Amino acid sequence: MAFIVGENCIKCKYTDCVEVCPVDCFYEGPNFLVIHPDECIDCALCEPECPANAIFSEDEVPEDQQEFIELNAELAEVWPNITEKKDSLPDAEEWDGKEGKLEMLER
């Protein structure tokens, strides 16, 4: 079972989670991070590090975010790997907690 990144990461992209991942399974897009499900070892270290509470165990993904399971797998195949913490997006705090951000995902 892998962990996935959900909707609240969109337009926030905090990277605290990346820093604690022992297997470097995070991948970075313009305004969102994803976890590669085949590389995640289910260690759960990333989940408490996310300031936006956007990381879920695959079996605990909220019903309204189920599509993010497939989205993480798909985008992890095309986005570059990220292994070090970076600054969050400039207006991350303003976007944290807002709903309906999927349409703002930049691929």
> What letter represents residue 59's amino acid?
D
Query: Is 13 exposed, middle or buried (CB count within 10 Å of its CB: 0-12, 13-18, 19+)?
Result: buried
Compute the distance between CA of residue 2 and CA of residue 50 in angstroms, rounded to an integer: 16
Domains of the chain from N-terminus onward: 3-85 (3.30.70.20)
CB of 19 closer than 8 Å to CB of 84: yes
Compute the distance between CA of residue 27 and CA of residue 5 in angstroms, rounded to an integer: 10
* Interval 8-34: pLDDT, tens: 999 999 999 999 999 999 999 999 999
pTM value surpassing 0.95: yes
